[in-house]
Amino acid sequence: MKTRPTKSRYVTVDDVRQILTNPVYGYGINFEPVERVTQAVMQLNQTLARQMQLSNTAPTLAELDQHFQALFQTLEESGRCTRTSECPPIVSRDVWLESQQIIIERLSRGEEV
C-alpha cells in the first residue's frame, strides 16, 4: 500500500515572530484573532523601543508586565480581540517578558526582529 507524501511546511520568520509575541505562551491567555494580538504586541514593542532610544533606559520586567497587561485589557475591552480561553503558560511570564525585552532592545538599535 502506497502512502501519499505529506506537504511539508517550513517554519517562517513570521511564524517565529508570532510565537514570540503571542501572550498564550507566557500568560496562558488565548486571544482571537491571534494575528491581531501579536501585531498589537509588536506595535507596543516598537513604541517601547522608541521610548528606550529617547531615555536610554530599558523597561524592567515589572514595567513590561504592566504595559502588556494594560494592552491585553484594552484589546479585550475595545472588542479588537476576544479572550477565548486560558491555559497553563508554556514558559514562565518572566521568560516571555525577557523575550519582549530582547525584541525591544534590538528594535531600539534599529535591528530587524
The mean pLDDT values, 10 residues at a time, for the chain of 113 residues are: 60 84 95 96 97 94 98 97 93 95 96 88
State residue 13's pLDDT score: 81
Cα separations in angstroms, 73 against 12, 17, 108: 29, 22, 25
Quote the CA–CA distance of 45 and 50 in Å, as a whole number. 9
State residue 5's pLDDT score: 53
The one-letter amino acid code at 86 reads E
Instruction: Give the Cβ contact number of residue 82 at 10 Å.
Output: 13
